[in-house]
Amino acid sequence: MKFKNRLSLQFTLLFAILLFCVLSGIYLFVAHNRTRTFFEKLAERANTVGQFYLAEDNLSDDKFKAVLKKFPQSLSDEQIRIYDDQFKPKFIEEGNLKWNRAVINAVIAQKRISWSAGNHQITGIYYNDNSGNFVIIVSATDTNGHHILKNLSLIMFFFFLASLVITFILGRVFSGLALNPIVKITNNLKTIRSTRLDRRLPVAPTKTDEIDVLSLTINQLLEHLEQSFESQKSFIANASHELRTPITTILGEAETTLMHDRGVDEYKLSLANIIKETERLIYLINSLMELMQTNISIHDFQNIRMDELIWEIKDELSGKSNESQITINYSFPDDPEQLIFRGNHQLLFVGISNIIKNGLKFSDHNEVVCDLYCDAKGINILIRDKGIGIEQTDLTKIFDPFFRAPNALKYAGYGIGLSLTNNIIRLHNGTISIKSQVGIGTEFHLLFPY
């Protein structure tokens, strides 16, 4: 079922329940009012009967004439019974309708009672007269009232059906109008393909309603997709180039060596070149594999002491090069538990060490300072070097795979490390920000939220 029809049906059902409750309330109110009004008529009729039979000597001529005029105006299916204090019928024979003493006693005790028996309504009054006290019971059927209620119920029933039909039709119209912006968004999205990710949905300048917010959100998603596709294209192009270079070198070296006989030293030199390019190829492949692994959700998380991790990185890098100068400044929190972070030990080791290694490399192994502290936001790591720095125009590109800034080309590397680090930090819900000045140095700020 289409959403428009489902929305119309839901609106119609809601309206039907509300309308049914309103009509039912009106019907019950009218029915209750009819019953009460007819009981009043029965009481008035009983009083008129009492005056007709018992109060001729107590009323003036004009009032009694009025009673004589009203008395013949009987009710539908009317039956009247008059009893004295001794429960004996007076003036009117009981016939088939007889009231037992329990009913008469109830009338005497309560002075006036009313009740229903099937379609008949009955009212009994206790009538005081100078000739004695009497019980007058009048029974009748409110034929006109029942007829009015029946007609009212039929009118309400057809009105209810007609209202539902009209509501459903109007619901479809308004649903169509309400969903029209969604339909436009859908039609616009159908025209967007992987080759046309630069297209965007129209958004009102004021962004006042939910449709504009939805369009803006989709545009942001398209922006991310476009960037992802562009990064993927760039990655494939750069990876192909970087992998082709050592393979071409290995193949060329081998073909050149096999063209004619050479001396032992020449063969050793060729094999050394092949080994060097093979190691380069292996490094590239391993780096690409690590980069791909960080794009996959990692579940091998454990509790890690950040201060211990930083110290392990320092030991590892200092052990590889005696020239490396790494200074670590700890600012321990009052609660040591704040230094514990849940993550993947191996990936965090690789990600943070990449930044420190870059700091050492691009500063010609001058001092790299690493500050570790905690605040309300989480665990903070600041890594500062006094290296060549990064141009402001290149700061947004350094996390792209294989990107290398122009002033870094004279240093060895492939432009994979920072891309790998960025993926690792994002995998741990962290953030990474950079401040840099060319010729002065670079500062990386890593934040891992609690």
The CA distance from 437 to 443, in Å, is 9
Report yes or no on 349 lying in a domain.
Answer: yes
Least confident of 36-40, 183-187, 328-332: 183-187
Greatest Cα pair distance in the chain: 159
287: left (phi over 0), alpha (psi -120 to 50) or beta: alpha
What pLDDT shows up at residue 297? 47
Calculate mean pLDDT across residues 276-293.
Answer: 71
449, pLDDT greater than 80 = yes
Q: What does the DSSP 8-state code read for residue 206?
A: S
| Interatomic CA distance for residues 400 and 377, integer angstroms | 27
pLDDT tens-digit series, residues 396-438: 888 887 788 888 888 887 787 888 888 888 888 899 999 999 9
**CATH of residue 363:** 3.30.565.10
- Residue 229 belongs to a domain: yes
What are the helix (H) ranges across 191-200? none
What's the mean pLDDT in 273-278? 83
26-53 residue pLDDT tens: 999 999 999 999 999 999 999 999 988 8
- Answering whether pTM is above 0.85, one says no
Q: Is the pLDDT of residue 212 over 90?
A: no
Domain contains 413: yes
Residues 445 and 306 occupy one common structural domain: yes
pLDDT of 186: 86
Tell me the pLDDT tens digit for each residue of 116-170. Answer: 998 899 999 999 888 889 999 999 999 999 999 999 999 999 999 999 999 999 9
Task: Express each pLDDT in 49-73 by its tens digit.
Answer: 998 888 877 777 788 888 888 888 8
Asked if 254 and 248 count as a contact pair (C-beta separation under 8 A), the reply is no
DSSP per position, 285-332? HHHHHHHHHTTS-----EEEEHHHHHHHHHHHHHHH-TT--EEEEEE-
Whether 304 contacts 342, CB under 8 Å: yes
Give me the domain span that covers residue 220: 210-293
Q: Which pLDDT belongs to residue 27? A: 95
Whether 230 and 340 map to the same domain: the answer is no
Same-domain check for residues 383 and 275: no
**Over 60: is that where the pLDDT of 322 sits?**
no
Structure tokens at 418: 């920072």
- 415 in Cβ contact with 403 (< 8 Å): yes
My answer on whether 345 and 409 are in the same domain is: yes
Task: Assign 3-state DSSP to the chain and report helix, strand, coil percentages, each to 5.
Answer: 55, 15, 25
Among candidate residues 107, 130, 148, the one where a domain is terminated: 148
Indicate the average pLDDT of the chain.
85
Q: How far is CA 157 from CA 114, 145, 160, 162, 315, in A?
A: 31, 18, 5, 9, 87
3-state secondary structure at position 266: helix
**Are 117 and 24 part of one and the same domain?**
yes
pLDDT at 291: 58
Please tell me whether residues 325 and 398 are part of one structural domain: yes
321, pLDDT greater than 70:
no
C-alpha dihedral over 414, 418, 419, 420, to 10 degrees? 100
Number of domains in the chain: 3
Residue 267: per-residue pLDDT: 79
Q: What is the mean pLDDT of residues 223-230?
A: 74
CATH number at 248 reads 1.10.287.130
Among residues 400, 399, 381, 412, the alpha carbon closest in space to that of 313 is found at: 381
Which whole number is the average pLDDT over 328-350?
88
Note whether 66 and 29 are same-domain residues. Answer: yes
